[in-house]
Structure 1
Amino acid sequence: PVPPDGGWGWMVVFGAFVSIGFAYAFPKGLAIFFKEIQDFFGTSYSEVAWISSIMLATTYGAGPISSILVNRYGSRPVVMFGGLLCGVGMISAAFCTSILQLYICVGFITGFGLALNLQPSVIIIGKYFLKRRPIANGLAMAGSPVMLCTLAPLNQFLFDNFGWRGSFLILGAILLNCCVAGALFRPIGAATASVKPQVTEEGKDALKEKITEEGVMEMSSPTNVSMENNIEEEGGKDCCEKINKYLDFSLFKHRGFLIYLIGNVLMFLGFFAPIVFLAPYAKHRGIDEYSAAFLLSILAIVDMVARPATGIIANSKWVRPRIQYFFSFSIAFNGTCHLLCPLASSYTGLVVYSSFYGLAFGMVCAMLFETLMDLVGAARFTSAVGLVTIAECCTILLGPPIGGTLIDTFGDYKYMFIKCGAVMVLAGTFLFIMNYYNYRMLAKEEKERKTKEEDPKSVRTENEGRNNWSKDTTQVEPELEPLREEQGGVKKEKNGT
């Protein structure tokens, strides 16, 4: 169906605003409780960092499962079920008695619920919008900073009044609002299931039964055996076709997709660790708890403005044809902010860092999925999101714990910020260079295609040459027959002797 580019699509954007907001902001907002959870269980920085890491990795790693469920059932039921899982996970976490149980309840259960919120929200925007898609994506992605801006002070307030266990109970109830957001995802166009494949499957089942009955009556017939083998081969092919229908593995032959995948996997090694450790770093510097939480609010406020603004800029006629360059610059700019963070020794310096970090973070997040859709197109976007997220989950899982290990080893946060900054600058540089190469190759391929279309004479001459050659060969064949017969007679005589 043709995307309506408006109408009910704006209600879908609002639902995606809520779902994406919780999916991205919730793991970061939990950082408010880390210092207290660390003291309560007597764990290290790296051990408590695994809570956010497992949650983020599960959110991204479950991307293919989410994509398959969306293709099978649609976005609405998947998001509503994901919201239910989020609520169950956080309510269960309130009764945990060890850090391992928190890994399971907060990390895996809630993380999987957030995955079922993130992917369908991104996918359905691509179905409702085409011309205004960058703006719609920017508005939906703005849900993350709005939620983070709200959750940071809210979590601190809840902790002061109810403790971390009571806070988790209330947060579990709040996450059930994802079910309401999912209800807004009205399906567009016809149902995905078609009648024809069902008929085909029924026909195949009937054929298999018929062949089995004939095989019992005529076991010695080789024809029936070969037909059964063919049916089994077709069944194996059908299984592969079904898997490829939900996850298009031919994308790994797509040059632009591979460049995007490698750059993003490298980027996520340093993407989330700074925001996870920002509030604990401020507390470590002697800043009070509410001021430390307010740093996340500052970051979120700037991020909130940056995302839709980036979407508008990315949708302009000057930037959209080369949006990959803009994305590469945003990643490198993000890394530069982290490299300069250790120079911020006072609270004012941390406020300045949080402002620039919020700008860079918003720029990257606003274009994260838009650049992928620009490369692979809307038709293959669902599979691309699933494959990208499962590849990214490894570095997302390792990023914060590696940062926590650096803090535990050196007793200073600056090495964590330097590591994250260096990795992101490297990722941005890689994407810039490789996208330049990709644009050059695409222009060259397009030029060659146009040359072939505009100059059909060469193709016609080549075809005529082939036809003439085949005619000459056909004419020569009868002339060569006597000679072949004579050669055959000589061979027979030799064999006779």
Structure 2
Amino acid sequence: MPPAAATNLGYTPPDGGWGWAIVVGAFISIGFSYAFPKSLTIYFKDIQEYFAVSYSEIAWVSSVMLASMYAAGPVSSILVNRYGSRPVVMVGGVLVSTGMVLASFGTAIIHLYLCIGVIGGFGLAFNLQPALTIIGTYFQVKRPLANGLAMTGSPVVLFTLAPLNQFLLDSFGWRGSFLILGGIVLNCCVAGSLMRPVNKKALKKPEKTEPPECNGGAAEEAATVDTITQSDNLTEENQKESKSQGCVNRFIDISLFKHRGFLIYLIGNVVMFFGFFAPVVFLAPCAKHKGIDEYSAAFLLSIFALADMFIRPTTGFIGNTKWIRPRIQYFFSFAVSYNGVCHLLFPLASEYTGLVVYAVFFGFAFGMLSALLFEVLMDLVGAHRFSSAVGLVTIIECGPVLLGPPLSGALVDIFGDYKYMYYACGVFMLVPGIFFFIMHYFNYRRLDKERGQIVAVDVRTCEEAVELKTNPDDKAAHDTDE
């Protein structure tokens, strides 16, 4: 698991300047990507009554949208690698707007699945991945802080959309609201216009003519040397196989499936995402089920978003400190476990006051996890492989993202109570949290051992180089012997 700090991008990221405009664009783009499916839950009860469908059937609207957003990850990654972030984000904004406008004319629930779920979901994918990827090209030292600020867009947009959607629903109905939302989401095109590619030539690192110092060998440089050495020893058959893999890796890096840290992240996330979105999707419907009025139920989402809004930049700031950054995976493990504990304690919230307390603590938990979700992946694989890593992760995660809310809705249909759904989500979050703690403990130990071996090899190589340089006669004799 190579450390992200040693990633050699070939240039020095500016860590500021136009990068903060990039953060603003990512703030808007990521905000709509994550908040939009959650905010649409305000319309669920009216749509459910209009089409006479069950809880699990209406839950498929947000579920298909989120699953499409994740399933389109590899497509988005390929387009970003080919054309850059700016045009992909702008196309994504147009797609989401088109999906919402078409959904306003829907005559069956299947139309909402296709328009909001599939078309809108693909548009959100074209907003999410490019925004996450371009931050890694502008920031390295301040990257956790930049990611935390950009991820704050989700609660800010949700905090705004939750009461706005309730107002639009009361004023124009769900059809008119979808038309208006189709126009609002075009702001993603404005966000995409800010995403100017980084000028790598102007920031290119000067080539070193001197060999690296003996006490300053980086892990990635040693890995590069090992790669070159191995490539010299390839047989003709292996070289052909390497060329074919290179054609695939030009679009998306499948060699990540051999990356230890990536596999740990992927396994834990697949389980985690079964319980990640459902508690947010059913928060307002659960409050209405308990007899709470519609505006108070919608206000729970605003409270949740306010807590989420506060904790995300705070998490980014904490994650950027010298105490947390070297072991940021533990911080992520705590955030996952904290979410699980919140859901397991949800049944204690029997009245509106309890739901408000739950919304606050869940907002903190969800915000911590969301602020770290992609930062820890970039920490594991490095910024140069992050676009491919996001694409591979999201296409695999689309299964639990798709099935999570409908399965949770089925539990509500079976038991007639939301607490069993929250119990299940708590287990799905707590188990991977414990898994992350254990696996990263052994992974960090393994990484420290590998770093020690690399340093020892570098020191020995440098000592031999110094010895040959100080004894040219020995070097000549050595060359003659060869």
TM-score scaled to structure 1, two decimals? 0.82
Counterpart in the other structure of 2:365: 360
Paired with 1:330 and 1:338, the residues of 2 have a C-alpha distance of 13
CA pair 407-77 structure 1, distance change in 2 beyond 3 A? same
1:90 to 2:126 alignment: no
Name which of 265, 273, 287 aligns with 1:268: 273
**Is 1:348 aligned with 2:353?**
yes
Q: Deviations over 1:135-190 (max 9, x none)?
A: 11111000000000001100000000000000000000101111111000011125
The answer on 1:289 being equivalent to 2:294 is yes
1:17 to 2, 20, 27: 27
1:79 aligns with 2:84: no
Which structure: larger Rg?
Answer: 1
Alignment of 1:217-296 (within 5 A): 240-296=245-301
Taking the aligned partners of 2:242 and 2:359, their CA distance within structure 1 comes to 53
CA distance in 2, matches of 1:442, 1:245: 28
1:446 aligned residue (443, 451, 455)? 451
d(CA) in 2 for partners of 1:250, 1:272: 29
Aligned-partner SS, 2:450: helix
The residue that corresponds to 2:392 in the other structure is: 387
Count of residue correspondences: 424
Q: Which AA in structure 2 matches 1:130?
A: Q
Q: Which amino acid aligns with 2:17?
A: G
**1:485-496 alignment to 2 at 5 Å?**
none
Distance 1:395 1:458, change over 3 A: same
Check 1:347–1:450 CA distance in 2 against 1; reply closer, same or farther (3 A cut). Answer: same
Superposition deviation, residue 457 in structure 1: 11
1:342/1:378 CA distance change after superposition, 3 Å: same
Q: Distance in 2 between matches of 1:15 and 1:456?
A: 47
* Separation in structure 1 between the aligned mates of residue 378 and residue 110 of structure 2, nearest angstrom: 38
Amino acid at match of 1:313: I
Is 1:109 aligned with 2:119?
A: yes
> Map of 1:399-418 to 2, 5 A cutoff?
399-418=404-423
Q: TM-score, normalised by structure 2?
A: 0.85
Q: Which runs of 4 or more aligned residues in structure 1 lie more than 4 Å from their structure 2 counterparts after TM superposition?
A: 233-240, 455-460
* Structure 1 residues 39-84: Cα deviation after superposition (integer angstroms, max 9, x where no partner): 1101010000000010001111111100100111111000000000
Q: Note if 1:335 corresponds to 2:367.
A: no
The equivalent of 1:316 in structure 2 is 321
* Matched residue type, 2:37: P
Deviations 1:253-300 (Å, cap 9, x if unpaired)? 110110011111111110000000000000000000000000000000
Amino acid at match of 1:416: M
1:425 aligns with 2:430: yes
Amino acid at match of 2:326: P
Q: Please tell me the residue identity of whatever aligns with 2:198.
A: I
Structure 1: stretches of 5+ with no match in the other structure: 192-232, 475-497
1:155-234 counterparts in 2 under 5 A? 155-189=165-199
Measure the CA separation in 1 of the matches of 2:371 and 2:339.
13
Structure 1's 361 and 36: CA in aligned 2 closer, same or farther, altered over 3 A? same
User: Which structure carries more relative contact order (alpha carbon 8 Å, separation 6+)?
Assistant: 2
SS for the counterpart of 1:290 is helix
Distance 1:317 1:257 in 2: 23
What do residues 82-102 of structure 1 show as CA deviations (whole Å, max 9, x unaligned)? 000010000000000000111
Deviation at 1:2, TM superposition (A): 2.3
* Secondary structure in structure 1 of the residue aligned to 2:282: helix
Could you say which residue in structure 2 is the equivalent of 1:299? 304
CA distance in 2, matches of 1:330, 1:245: 34
Aligned residue for 2:383, secondary structure, equals coil
Question: Could you report, residue by residue, the CA deviation over 1:283-338 in whole angstroms, capped at 9, with x for unpaired residues?
Answer: 00000000000000000000000000000000000000000000000000011000
Amino acid at match of 2:121: G
1:126 corresponds to: 136
- Give 1:453 shift: 3.2
Distance (Å, rounded) in 2 between the aligned partners of 1:235 and 1:426? 43
Which sections of structure 2, spanning at least 5 residues, go unmatched? 1-10, 202-237, 466-473
| Displacement after TM superposition at 1:3 (Å) | 1.3
Aligned-partner residue type, residue 147 of structure 1: V
Q: 1:363 to 1:457 in 2, by over 3 A?
A: closer
Q: Which deviations, in whole Å up to 9, do the C-alpha atoms of 1:360-414 show, x marking residues without a partner?
A: 0000000111101111111111111111111111111110001001001111100
Q: Provide the rounded CA distance (Å) in 2 between the counterparts of 1:106 and 1:418.
A: 29
Distance 1:235 1:36, change over 3 A: farther
Instruction: State the distance in 2 between where 1:25 and 1:83 align.
Output: 14
Is the aligned partner of 1:149 residue 2:177? Answer: no
Query: Which whole-Å CA distance do the structure 1 matches of 2:90 and 2:383 have between them?
Result: 24
Q: CA deviation at 1:246?
A: 2.0
Q: Secondary structure at the match of 1:246?
A: coil
Q: How far off is 1:458 after superposition?
A: 12
Which structure shows the higher helix fraction?
Answer: 1
Residues in 2 aligned to 1:417 and 1:86: alpha-carbon distance in whole angstroms: 30
Distance in 2, Cα, partners of 1:162 & 1:436: 54
Return the offset for 1:239. 6.0
